[in-house]
Amino acid sequence: MSRFSSLLPTTLPAVAIAAAFGAPALAALAPGAVAPDFKAPAYLAGKATEFSLAEARKKGPVVVYFFPAADTAGCNLEARLFAEAVDEFKANGATVIGVTAGNLDKLQAFSADTEKCAGKFPVAGDPGAKIAKQYEATMAVRPGWSSRTSYVIAPNGKVVHAYSAMSPDDHVKETLGAVKAWKSAQR
């Protein structure tokens, strides 16, 4: 027996779990698909509000970014990155909304925290991942939670760009680039 065969029973499950969490999810709604409209309870700077995708689309494109759970390391980073870039999104006519099915009890504080959303954009609660299911943006490894999937939706309701990856780092770059390209194509 090799020195590695004794490791197999304990390392294979760990490798499988790492692969499941590290593998990018595929965004189900492809560019050109019609994005389902939704209304959801949300928080902006710690204050309760309601977000309506149909209303937001009247102002321009909307970035809908799904994230697994409020107040977790990757989601905190992603929220901060969106908060830092929100003025650039607005300068390009876009609205940003974060949507999550996880840790809903922490969403109000998450929305106002200066190290996270910083009150710069609303975050909506999605109990039971009902909205995420419409967008097929749910986690297979954590049923009932949203995956890390971002969409850019044009004012006509069509998906312009979709991006899925477990790493939060590229969602802002991907969606901001798509918003700028959409805006440029409208001229």
Higher pLDDT, 152 or 22: 152
Give the mean pLDDT of the chain. Answer: 84
Half-sphere exposure of 12 (CA within 13 A, CB side): 6
The CATH fold of domain 28-185: Glutaredoxin (3.40.30)
Domains of the chain, by residue range, sit at 28-185
Tens of pLDDT, residue by residue over 38-75, are 999 999 999 999 999 999 999 999 999 999 989 888 89
Note the pTM of the prediction, 2 decimals: 0.83
Q: 65 - beta bridge partners?
A: 98, 150
Dump strand ranges (E) for the chain: 39-44, 47-52, 62-69, 95-102, 123-125, 149-153, 159-164
